[in-house]
Amino acid sequence: MAPEIIGFLMIGAMLFAIFIGFPISFTLIFLGIVFGAWGFGMKLTIFLMTLQFYGSMMEQTLAAVPLFVFMGFMMEQAGLMERLFKAVQLMLARMTGSLFVAVLFVSVVFGAATGIVGASVTILGIMAAKTMSESGYDVRLAAGTITAGGTLGILIPPSIMLVVMGPVLEVPVTDLFAGAILPGVMMAVLYLVYALGRCWLNPKLGPPLRDDQIPDSRSHVWREFILGLVPPTILIAFAMGSILFGWATPTEGAGMGALGSVLLTIGYRKFTWKRTYDALLKTLEISVLILFLVAASNFFGAVFSRLGTPGMITDWLLALDLSPSLIIIMILAMVFILGWPLEWVPIVLIILPILQPVLVEMNVNMTWFAILVAVCLQTAWLSPPVALSAYFLKGVAPDWDLKDIYYGMMQFMTVQIFGLTLVFLFPWLALWLPGYLYGN
Amino acid sequence: DAATKIQVQSVIPNTADEVVMLQDFADDVKALTNGEVEFEILPAGAVVGVQEILDAVDAGLIDGGFAWTHYWSGKHPAAMLFGSPVAGAGIGIDNIAFMSWYLNAGGKELYDQLWKEMGVNVKGFMLQPVGPEALGWFKEPIETMADFRKYRFRTPPGIPGQTYKDIGVASVAMGGGDILPALEKGTIDAAEWCCPKPDSVFGFQKVLKHYYLQGLHQVVVNADLYINGDVYNSLTPLQQKAIEVAANASLMKAMAYRINENGKALDKLINEDGVILHDTPAEYFTEYMAAANAALEKNAAENAFFKQVWDSQKAFARTAVPYWAQAQRTNANLGAAYAETLKKQ
Amino acid sequence: MAGNETDDTIPIGDELLAERRAGPGSRMPDDMHPAARSIIHGIDTMSEWVGRIVALLVVPIMFAMVYEVIARKFFVAPTLWAFDISRMLYGMSFMLGAAYALMHGLHIRADFLYRNFEVKTQGRVDLVLYIVLFMPAMIFLLIAGYDFALKSVMQGERAGDSTWAPVVWPVKVSLAVGVALLLVQGVSEILKSWYAATRGRWPS
Ligand code: NA
Ligand code: NA
């Protein structure tokens, strides 16, 4: 059988096998071995596996994951993040869905500071899930907001994905960074409009505080708000500020944030060695959960690429004789569909270079195209079953049903497609800022 | 009968200049073998990551790989002497002189020996001499080495980068993806990448305007093709010869291609993007050369094969470099005279 | 499921990972075969201790990053080692911690079907999959990982993509060791699944 066909069977088998309920990492590794051995031999498959695992182990940008997770746990143990969300809720007491505002606000701040989805989703989950549940928020909408908000990190610069995409499409990364800002903020606004719109139609989805929970004294509310807001603001300023003001790379900023969280717990007299060690253990647990899965899915994706299936799909596409707009729609549809089983790395590195010459020939603006692909690829994080964000969130909010997380993410996939349509219809969304900053 | 298809994974996207030249080489081989041998070029990351290409070729996971041989300095220190001998191996070898050593003064035999020393089942072909690479991009002009030392400079991997540290430059280690954001935000003040064309594709001109072409860290740079030993041995002698002939042709073609492409890119950088080209401070050359020599001496003392290769290069350089330096001066003066007439127009 | 049902409350904090299972401290049931009991205890204790030590690696990563930022920003004296130290320690920590995570049931499952199975069925599914899927995969990865690490040690291999260029075999050895630990932990999980498949309840 042709290896490309084996690739299709592999995806089919994966869709079935994952739902048996065995740990996903090991299921992916096993399927990679079986179908790799079938397609190109056992010796090479297991060798590919060691290479992929080693590659994931030496990826310095991912070292930000344990650091940000540790920061999250330290803040959580000191009760500071809960207090922040409570404070926002108190301030917006009579507003339905106020926590969605808080989550998306923090998402944008986080997105502007990091390029790592795993860290954003996990930390938002740790910080917000408890408060949302206790306040009677709808699990699906809450999970969708957290996962969608978390994926903003790969769109809002700095973004690892755009950094990889730039050289592939021969567009300066700075242009891509500038181009992604408006669409990124737009997506956050769309998420917000969606979440609040749903709450407006059905207040039960994000209930406001009951009258007896709202203190009479306005000054008390302000006091809580400031006390809740100041510590995390200091910390975010410490971590994110060090990145945004150019003192630190994202990984280094994560280290600053981690140390900052320790100093903050000391300042709040909440520091104990035992608590800190507990936070370290939990950090290890969550980091393993995320990073082992990243390594396993990299291996799975590498086998799939090696089987040649993505290339074959691209060839089909090019064989059709269509107008530029239709080709772009087809490409986006393909990226969208491939985002289901794959993460963004194989899509960006294998498919885009094959398409690049064709698009250049058709005079497609490559900055615009890159942003379209980037917005489209965000869905790869939101499309089950290989949607790492779902598993990251499940890891920190274990009582949330994975099925509900899936449903929540799929609602936001719809919002995502709406946003994608806007960027497609109004290219200036992606092109105005780079033109304003860098000319032409 | 059916063609032999050799899959080659590169370390860069398929749109890069190096791949364009590699494809040209592949077309030559196909024509020379009557279509019997075909290369299929896969982009970076298609099968394995950049750092794993040589291991993958060795194991037969991919038939072939394409990279700069100094990428494998971690596996054997002498790889650097073939891929990017720091500061012209410390003995004044430029990329053309290097080709003379490689083709005419025993370099090729040592190159074949390198893979045995490394313990990998690989047949290598040098394809693309692309040096000299630029010193890099700076936020502010540097007049002296004291100026240079004020800036945080993203340096290349291995000894070429360590040598900057040795001469007191604030050398920053950073992944390729972090460079541009770091420059934009001022996390670092200066950086090097390659040469005008790749640098402008990377986009440095959008954040930094001061460009220095004269640098020593990668004055000689060669990109190579690696074929798995078993795959190579399965070819007929005629097919093997065709690859060798096409590879030798590629050495010249690559040089030709790069002069033209880098020239056009530099012209655009200066005349359209507002980049200012500067001369590198003279003391840089002496300081960097001295530090590079110390690093080379240290490696030669630690590794016998490294010493053997370097000794061979030194023996070549003793007679070749004094001649070539004189001849190059003619070339430089000739070029400079023409460039002057352009300025007057 | 509506969000305002009380069973949606998430007790984050100490019960952060609801699916997490107790460590080796928990006593295995009396009706388990004594040999199985001591094997499980031995293996779990080892994984627990490895995890407890490996968890500390975040601390040097954190200080390396902070040191680098301060040295570079305020003293124009960046280090060459912080970049490599951070990625090597991070990579080692998640591979060496993988067995610890397996013991605590932390590797995520798409479990909305699995969760509703009878415990006996869960045990049988796990038993079969640990033997048919997990163990062979880990054995293959161990064989390849061993060769991979050995070659690197023999070459004294250094990183080819960083200025500092440290030896990288500690990372490759950690990969092999991490897989070996996973393989050993798999034996413990097989015995626990066997118990669940036959007795209809999980041992801890
Ligand atoms: Na970002
Ligand atoms: Na997906």
DSSP B315-335: HHHHHHHHHHHHHHHHHHHHH
Structure tokens at A258: 């981690």
d(CA B214, CA B196): 12
Q: Is the CB of A281 less than 8 angstroms away from the CB of C126?
A: no
Q: How far is C141 from chain A (nearest CA, A)?
A: 6
For position A318, what pLDDT does the model report? 74
Structure tokens at A251: 């990984």
| Number of CB pairs, chain A paired with chain B, less than 8 A apart | 112
Q: Is the CB of B203 less than 8 angstroms away from the CB of A306?
A: no
Q: How many CA atoms lie within 13 A of B235 on its CB side?
A: 24
Do residues A382 and A340 make contact, with C-beta atoms less than 8 angstroms apart? no
Q: How many CA atoms lie within 13 A of A216 on its CB side?
A: 0
Mean of the per-residue pLDDT values for chain A? 83
For position A187, what pLDDT does the model report? 95
Question: Please, which pLDDT band fits residue C59 given cuts at 50, 70 and 90?
Answer: very high
Do residues B277 and B339 make contact, with C-beta atoms less than 8 angstroms apart? no
Q: Name the 3-class secondary structure at B63.
A: coil
Which is more confident, B86 or A241?
B86
Q: Is the pLDDT reported for residue A440 higher than 50?
A: no
d(CA C82, CA C94): 18
Enumerate the β-bridge partners of residue C158: C167
Q: Is the CB of C106 less than 8 angstroms away from the CB of A256?
A: no
Do residues C120 and C200 make contact, with C-beta atoms less than 8 angstroms apart? yes
d(CA B213, CA B191): 12
Q: Is the pLDDT reported for residue A437 higher than 70?
A: yes
Q: What is the mean pLDDT of residues A356-375?
A: 86
Q: How many residues does chain C have?
A: 204
Q: Is the CB of C88 less than 8 angstroms away from the CB of A58?
A: yes
Query: What is the residue type of B270?
Result: I
Do residues A92 and A98 make contact, with C-beta atoms less than 8 angstroms apart? yes
In sequence order, which residues have a C-beta less than 8 Å from that of residue C79 and are 6 or more positions away? Answer: C67, C68, C71, C72
Q: What is the DSSP letter of B5?
A: E
Q: Which chains touch A (3 or more CB pairs under 8 A)?
A: B, C
Kindly report, residue by residue over C155-178, the tens digit of the pLDDT.
Answer: 888 887 888 889 999 999 999 999
Over its length of 345 residues, how does chain B's per-residue pLDDT go in tens digits? 568 999 999 988 777 889 999 999 999 999 999 999 999 998 877 778 788 899 999 988 889 999 999 889 889 999 999 999 999 999 999 999 999 999 999 999 999 999 999 999 999 999 999 889 999 999 999 999 999 999 999 988 888 889 999 999 998 877 676 788 788 878 899 999 889 998 998 889 988 999 999 999 999 999 999 999 999 999 999 999 999 999 999 999 999 999 999 999 999 999 999 999 999 999 999 999 999 999 999 999 999 999 999 999 999 999 999 999 999 999 999 999 998 998 887
For position A342, what pLDDT does the model report? 65
For position A158, what pLDDT does the model report? 66
Kindly report, residue by residue over A177-208, the tens digit of the pLDDT.
Answer: 889 989 999 999 999 999 999 998 988 888 88
Angle at the Cα of C61 from the Cα atoms of C60 and C65, rounded to 5 degrees: 115
Which chain A residues contact residue B184 at CB under 8 A?
A: 174, 177, 246
Largest Cα span, chain C: 66
Do residues C130 and B122 make contact, with C-beta atoms less than 8 angstroms apart? no
Which is more confident, B136 or C20?
B136
Ligand closest to CA A155: 1
Do residues B178 and A115 make contact, with C-beta atoms less than 8 angstroms apart? no
d(CA A413, CA B328): 62
Strand order in the sheet with B222-228: B37-42, B4-10, B64-68, B222-228, B122-129
Question: Please, which pLDDT band fits residue A422 given cuts at 50, 70 and 90?
Answer: very high
Phi, psi angle pair for C111, to nearest 5°: -110, 20
Do residues A139 and C8 make contact, with C-beta atoms less than 8 angstroms apart? yes
In sequence order, which residues have a C-beta less than 8 Å from that of residue A434 and are 6 or more positions away? Answer: A174, A175, A176, A178, A179, A367
Measured between CB atoms, which of C1, C82, C129 is closest to A401? C1
A268 in reach of chain B (CB within 8 A):
no
Q: What is the DSSP letter of C80?
A: S
d(CA A252, CA A257): 9
For position C5, what pLDDT does the model report? 29
How many angstroms separate the alpha carbon of residue A27 from the centre of ligand 1?
A: 30
d(CA A241, CA A256): 10
Residue with tokens 């290349």: B156
Q: How far is C161 from chain B (nearest CA, A)?
A: 5
For position A113, what pLDDT does the model report? 62
Integer-rounded Cα Rg, in Å, for chain C is 21
B174 in reach of chain A (CB within 8 A):
yes
Mean of the per-residue pLDDT values for chain C? 84
Which chain C residues contact residue A50 at CB under 8 A?
A: 141, 144-145, 148, 175
Selection from A283-292, A354-363, C38-47 with the highest mean pLDDT: C38-47
Kindly report, residue by residue over B111-159, the tens digit of the pLDDT.
Answer: 999 999 999 999 999 999 988 999 999 999 999 999 999 999 998 888 8
Q: Is the CB of B75 less than 8 angstroms away from the CB of C155?
A: yes
Percent share of chain A, pLDDT over 90: 23
Do residues B250 and B21 make contact, with C-beta atoms less than 8 angstroms apart? yes
Q: What is the DSSP letter of B69?
A: G
How many angstroms separate the alpha carbon of residue B233 from the centre of ligand 2?
A: 42
Q: How far is C144 from chain B (nearest CA, A)?
A: 11
Which B-chain residues 61-120 have CB contacts (< 8 A) with chain A?
A: 61
Question: Please, which pLDDT band fits residue A115 given cuts at 50, 70 and 90?
Answer: low
Do residues A306 and A40 make contact, with C-beta atoms less than 8 angstroms apart? yes
Do residues C185 and C43 make contact, with C-beta atoms less than 8 angstroms apart? yes
d(CA B265, CA B204): 13
Query: What is the residue type of C195?
Result: Y
Angle at the Cα of B84 from the Cα atoms of B80 and B87, rounded to 5 degrees: 105
Measured between CB atoms, which of B47, B203, B206 is closest to A305? B47
Which chain B residues contact residue A175 at CB under 8 A?
A: 203, 206
Nearest of B41, A28, A288, A159 to residue C103 by alpha carbon: A288
Q: Is the pLDDT reported for residue A237 higher than 90?
A: no
Q: What is the pTM of this model?
A: 0.82
Q: How far is A108 from chain B (nearest CA, A)?
A: 18
Phi, psi angle pair for A352, to nearest 5°: -60, -45
For position A398, what pLDDT does the model report? 84
d(CA B51, CA B16): 18
Which chain C residues contact residue A280 at CB under 8 A?
A: 55-56, 58-59
For position A347, what pLDDT does the model report? 72
Q: What is the DSSP letter of B131?
A: P
Kindly report, residue by residue over C106-155, the tens digit of the pLDDT.
Answer: 887 766 678 778 899 999 999 999 999 999 999 999 999 999 899 899 88
| Measured CA distances, A68 to A49, A282, C57, C99 (Å) | 27, 12, 14, 22
Q: Is the pLDDT reported for residue A89 higher than 70?
A: yes
ipTM of the complex: 0.84
Q: Is the CB of A23 less than 8 angstroms away from the CB of C109?
A: yes
For position C16, what pLDDT does the model report? 32
Do residues A77 and A280 make contact, with C-beta atoms less than 8 angstroms apart? no
Question: Please, which pLDDT band fits residue C11 given cuts at 50, 70 and 90?
Answer: very low
For position A346, what pLDDT does the model report? 64
Angle at the Cα of B26 from the Cα atoms of B24 and B31, rounded to 5 degrees: 95
d(CA A371, CA A427): 10
Q: Is the CB of C148 less than 8 angstroms away from the CB of A22?
A: no
Do residues A96 and A198 make contact, with C-beta atoms less than 8 angstroms apart? no
Do residues B78 and B309 make contact, with C-beta atoms less than 8 angstroms apart? yes
Measured between CB atoms, which of B43, B44, B178 is closest to A249? B178
In terms of Cβ atoms closer than 10 Å to its own Cβ (0-12, 13-18, 19+), residue A105 is: middle
* Residue burial C72-111, b: 16+ Cβ < 10 Å; e: rest: bbeeeebbbbbbbbbbbbbbbbbbbbbbbbbbbbbbbbbb
Nearest of A324, A346, A321, A323 to residue A335 by alpha carbon: A346
In sequence order, which residues have a C-beta less than 8 Å from that of residue A216 and are 6 or more positions away? Answer: none
d(CA A227, CA A73): 19
Phi, psi angle pair for B38, to nearest 5°: -120, 135
d(CA C89, CA C111): 32
For position C19, what pLDDT does the model report? 46
Kindly report, residue by residue over C40-57, the tens digit of the pLDDT.
Answer: 999 999 999 999 999 999
Measured between CB atoms, which of A48, A172, A353 is closest to B61? A48
How many angstroms separate the alpha carbon of residue C44 from the centre of ligand 2?
A: 34
For position A369, what pLDDT does the model report? 94
Strand order in the sheet with B190-191: B170-172, B152-154, B190-191, B136-138, B210-212, B276-278
Which is more confident, A1 or A373?
A373
For an interface test with B, the pick among A43, A56, A156, A174 (most B C-beta atoms closer than 10 Å) comes out as A174
Question: Please, which pLDDT band fits residue C2 given cuts at 50, 70 and 90?
Answer: very low
Ligand closest to CA A159: 1
For position A4, what pLDDT does the model report? 86
Measured between CB atoms, which of C83, C84, C157 is closest to B75? C157
For position C112, what pLDDT does the model report? 65
Q: What is the DSSP letter of A207?
A: P
Selection from A156-160, A253-257, A371-375 with the highest mean pLDDT: A371-375
Q: Is the CB of C61 less than 8 angstroms away from the CB of A66?
A: yes
Nearest of A5, A53, A3, A4 to residue A28 by alpha carbon: A53
Q: Is the pLDDT reported for residue A163 higher than 80?
A: no
For position C21, what pLDDT does the model report? 65
Which A-chain residues 72-131 have CB contacts (< 8 A) with chain B?
A: none
d(CA A28, CA A18): 8
Beta strand B136-138 pairing with B210-212: antiparallel
Do residues A255 and C66 make contact, with C-beta atoms less than 8 angstroms apart? yes
Proportion of chain A in helix, strand, coil states, percent, rounded to 5: 80, 0, 20
Percent share of chain A, pLDDT over 70: 91
